[in-house]
Structure 1
């Protein structure tokens, strides 16, 4: 969903709810995931697969380069039919290398699927914790500072990252500044972790 449409729908939902019932919060999922050993392990596994596939592709092009050098060295001794056969082999090898590269690193390729597979578990773990905290704190909305749709200003009173970290048993030390400047704004709504009403930032 495009940001503009999401923003319009969000505004509509916010305006539809009674002001006194609207309560929201946000978390920094990027920071939370960065503290998870399971997530770090997944990143390490992804790097290993990427390195292996990169080496496979590099090996294919090394082989092609050797064939090209051999062909150029022997070209003067080859008949026309032999030249065509060699050129056809080179062309096939180059096509295979390109196709394999696209298969691995192309849109929704093997690396994309491997990332999705390895990231599924830590992402689901974080999402379950966020959902649990949202229900416990009776929130109507929970935003993510790490998403494409971010807030122009974030009041620390609305930051539930520490609650989620606690739920996951993670250390929240060295947490970055909770106030941030970004590119998109979210309409202010009433409610916070301590039930205080905030005013629209200027």
Structure 2
């Protein structure tokens, strides 16, 4: 009986505690899409990525051209020349893959460029969210654009526009 009473007390305390929690909903994608600096940074990032991808594609096309040329001439080459050409093709392909990894790999040039251009804006948004949460005493903030699945929420709980106002963005 004593365990039942303690369990009931814990359940009731948790229920009252859950009712006392304050929360709001935001949409970081909406917020970022309404910040002109973010759009500009994203365009710059896309342009750089396109340029690097073209550079990598050109290297792979060169490898492909070398391989086709090798296949066409393979019959007439000596074993020594075959091995030399194969080594050249493999080395060229390795260079292209290394460049691809350097540009687009984990913590590659694109990652660093994104950190340089986009992260400061994301940090400002995060700080504005923290300020809003602290000033209005929210216990937690849900982001409807992220991995959290929200089936329904009351639109008056969406504070995305408040974040934009605190960042000085007019929409």
Specify the TM-score bucket, using the shorter chain as the normaliser. 0.7 to 0.9
How big is each residue's C-alpha offset from its partner over 1:162-191, in whole Å with a ceiling of 9 and x where there is no partner? 21111112234xxxxxxxxxxxxxxxxxxx
Match of 1:124 in 2: 123
Higher helix proportion (structure 1 or 2): 2
Distance of 1:93 and 1:164 partners within structure 2: 50
TM-score of the pair, normalised by structure 2:
0.80
Q: Which has the larger radius of gyration?
A: 2
SS across alignment from 2:118: helix
**Pair 1:39–1:91, CA change in 2 (3 A):** same
On the 8 A contact 1:39/1:119 being kept in 2, the answer is yes
Does the Cα contact within 8 Å between 1:144 and 1:150 map onto a contact in 2? no
Question: CA RMSD, aligned part only?
Answer: 2.4
Return 5+ residue gaps in structure 2 as ranges.
1-12
Give 1:86 deviation, angstroms.
0.9
> Could you say which residue in structure 1 is the equivalent of 2:41?
42
Highest RCO, 1 vs 2 (Cα 8 Å, sep ≥ 6): 2
Q: Normalization by structure 1: what TM-score? A: 0.69
Match of 2:6 in 1: none
- Determine the C-alpha separation between the residues in 1 that align with 2:153 and 2:27: 11
Distance 1:26 1:88 in 2: 58
Residue 148 of structure 1 aligns to a residue whose secondary structure is coil
Alignment of 1:136-175 (within 5 A): 136-172=135-171
Q: How many residues align?
A: 159
Aligned-pair CA distance for 1:80:
1.8
Is the alpha carbon distance of 1:15 and 1:105 closer, same or farther for their aligned partners in structure 2, counting shifts above 3 Å? farther
C-alpha deviation, 1:100, in angstroms: 2.4
